[in-house]
Structure 1
């Protein structure tokens, strides 16, 4: 099974955060690439996860629902949450990301 054969029930929102999580009960740091109410896409090192592994993550200081790895392609994996992340939480995370990006852009302009 690959990522293209899994139907999506909700729209994924792009997000770029480094999050701490646990895969196979061991701590990992992964890049969170996108997120929705029902799951997310993460990137780690080769072999960091296998289909069926349970995943626990804290995203922006908020505990994400427990998840299961649904697909793996190279260093990327799709996580299907066992519950749902509330849309207001997703709005907050995306807004927080946007504020962080704007702050970094302002800092870069000041250095020029």
Structure 2
């Protein structure tokens, strides 16, 4: 993971949200051109639905704006209802769908 993240050449910001000296949420923002992409937004299951993730994301977006981002985007799995509700509350909406495909067996 460290090697992968170190290969990101554009500006990146990492957020860890602490509650009672414990990390309960984290996320990554990557700025490219005038966009900040939000990645790996995760909240500890025991701390969900308390507004922590919303505050973390808003702070990450604030950091992005302070560093030149005018627009933002993210991707979310279509059946992740809690995340979809959160992102909708913040103002995100679906603009397209995509899916991964796997091949049953790989042959040369």
TM-score, with normalisation over the residues of structure 2? Answer: 0.26
TM-score calculated relative to the size of structure 1: 0.25
Q: Which structure would you say has the larger RCO, counting Cα contacts within 8 Å and 6 or more residues apart?
A: 1
> Which has the greater radius of gyration?
2
Q: Which has the higher strand share?
A: 1
